């Protein structure tokens, strides 16, 4: 039951993010707070895998056989100090698709 509720919460967050995306439904990256399911201030590989499960083309996923990006690879890129968890600072500085790290959406530096 608990796993079902957690899955529903992530699905709701993802649906909300997609509905609010500028330009009619592009992918909006998750916030650190949305990914940190246990609210301990850091992200585990499991938390990242649960978010990315079922996204993207078949063959991705944390275990290599799901339907989404390879969460293990994503987590490995985000975990800059390789200590097995992703801090808020690491998350904010993470490499982004199509570019380098930087502030999260809404926290962009002035132009």
DSSP line for 3-33: HHHHHHHHHHHHHHHHHT-HHHH---PPPHH
pLDDT in tens, 21-60: 444 456 678 899 999 999 999 999 999 999 888 675 544 4
Of residues 75 and 14, which shows the higher confidence score? 75
What's the rounded Cα separation, in Å, for the pair 7 and 103? Answer: 27
Question: 25's torsion region: left (phi>0), alpha (psi -120 to 50) or beta?
Answer: left
Q: How far is CA 59 from the centre of its chain?
A: 18
- Does the pTM surpass 0.75? The reply is no
Instruction: Using pLDDT thresholds of 50, 70 and 90, give the confidence band for residue 2.
Output: low
Q: Are 16 and 25 in contact, with CB atoms under 8 Å apart?
A: no
Output the CATH code of domain 29-92: 1.10.238.10
């Amino acid at each position: 039951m608990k796993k079902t509720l957690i899955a529903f919460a992530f699905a709701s967050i993802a649906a909300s993010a997609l509905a609010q995306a500028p330009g009619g439904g592009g992918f909006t990256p998750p916030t650190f707070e949305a990914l940190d399911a246990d609210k301990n201030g850091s992200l585990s590989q499991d938390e990242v895998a649960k978010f990315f499960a079922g996204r993207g083309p078949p063959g991705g996923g944390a275990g290599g056989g799901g339907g989404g990006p390879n969460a293990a690879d994503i987590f490995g890129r985000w975990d800059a100090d390789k200590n097995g968890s992703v801090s808020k600072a690491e998350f904010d500085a993470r490499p982004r698709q199509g570019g380098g790290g930087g502030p999260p959406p809404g926290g962009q530096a002035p132009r």
